[in-house]
Amino acid sequence: MICENHTRVTEFILLGFTNNPEMQVSLFILFLAIYTVTLLGNFLIVTVTSVDPALQTPMYFFLRNLSLLEVCFTLVMVPKMLVDLVSPRKIISFVGCGTQMYFFFLFGSSECFLLSMMAYDRFVAICNPLRYSVIMNRSLCWWMAMGSWMSGVPVSMLQTAWMMALPFCGPNAVDHFFCDGPPVLKLVTVDTTMYEMQALASTLLFIMFPFSLILVSYTRIIITILRMSSATGRQKAFSTCSSHLIVVSLFYGTASLTYLRPKSNQSPESKKLVSLSYTVITPMLNPIIYSLRNNEVKGAAKRTITQKVLQKLDVF
């Protein structure tokens, strides 16, 4: 559709959180610190699960993929958000907005499915321990990981291409800190009912379907744990799942508040805060949760850091 009597939008203004310069500086320092912790924590997980022989199991293979995914997920929006906090012109090009939206949809969908694959891994480990190494073989783990990473490609391409093909002929101020679907859709100058129906269907598929798989897996896990005669066995079995359950609750809880709540209940400010939770805060918390609640990860991290320090001392 051609924008009659209007110029088609070629760039967007990201309104972000505030126009107060002092507040922007404070937020920049805060978010930079969070982003630094996020990168260090997730790269530490990737490193220790790659080099430590004790962590060469499917569980830590998927954890390594989750940490890589969190790095990619935050890379899509946090650097741009930091630049906007100290820049007088919070501009993103039309193509840049579409690119950011595409990778946000892609990595968000991938994380949903990867979390469900991690739940299945825990299901096999607890409910079929004798066959665990046979079922969760190297080939299957790689296919599950690749399937998770690629699962969001079709719907991300469809949603982004459809969205950016709609006419943007009027306002170009996005009331958000990145190019998310709902705030950008508000700027479209035609009826968007068909797109919204497709987007809701995709959201239900890529949020609720993996979440259903997680629920089924943990229902079976809980039943198996309750049937264990040993209290020590029950405690050990639950401890292997607790970190994953916390991560799932954080991710799905905040994502559902953003995409599954009625529009009338959402204010731009509350949506920004909730979006901030799963785009910035949760990726920082994930490595902390897994390292603090997992003795094997803590031990591997200490061994890796000690080895690096000794190597440095040998050089001198």
Q: What is the pLDDT of residue 233?
A: 76
Mean predicted lDDT score pLDDT of the chain: 84
Q: Taking residues 130-136, report their average pLDDT.
A: 91
136 vs 171: which has the higher pLDDT: 136
pLDDT 10s digits, 4-38: 656 677 889 998 887 777 888 899 999 999 999 99
Q: What is the pLDDT of residue 235?
A: 82
Q: Taking residues 216-231, report their average pLDDT.
A: 88
- Residue 197 token pair: 């129906």
Q: What is the pLDDT of residue 206?
A: 77
Expressed in angstroms, the distance from the first to the final Cα of the chain is 68
The 3-state DSSP class for residue 5 equals coil
The domains found in the chain, sorted by start residue, are 9-312 (1.20.1070.10)
Q: What is the pLDDT of residue 8?
A: 76
**262 confidence band (pLDDT: 50, 70, 90):** low
Q: What is the pLDDT of residue 261?
A: 62
Please list, residue by residue across 140-172, b when 16 or more beta carbons sit within 10 angstroms of its beta carbon and e when fewer do: ebeebbeebbebbeebbeebbeebbebbbbeeb
Phi, psi of 269 (to 5 degrees): -65, -45
Q: What is the pLDDT of residue 237?
A: 78
Cα–Cα distance measured from residue 70 to residue 87, given in angstroms and rounded to the nearest whole number: 26
Q: What is the pTM of this model?
A: 0.87
Q: What is the pLDDT of residue 65?
A: 94
Show the DSSP H helices in the chain as ranges. 21-51, 58-85, 94-127, 132-135, 138-150, 153-165, 181-185, 193-203, 209-226, 231-259, 268-276, 282-292, 295-315
Asked whether residue 149 carries a pLDDT value surpassing 90, the answer given is yes
* Cβ neighbours for 185, distance < 8 A, ≥ 6 positions apart: 163, 192, 195, 196, 199
Give the highest mean pLDDT range of 121-125, 200-204, 254-258.
121-125
Q: What is the pLDDT of residue 115?
A: 92
Cα–Cα distance measured from residue 107 to residue 98, given in angstroms and rounded to the nearest whole number: 14
pLDDT 10s digits, 64-120: 999 999 999 999 999 999 999 988 888 999 999 999 999 998 998 899 999 999 999
Q: What is the pLDDT of residue 245?
A: 87
301 vs 90: which has the higher pLDDT: 90
Closest CA to 19 of 175, 236, 197, 229: 175
Phi, psi of 261 (to 5 degrees): -85, 150
Q: Within 13 Å and on the Cβ side, how many CA atoms surround 13?
A: 8
211 vs 312: which has the higher pLDDT: 211
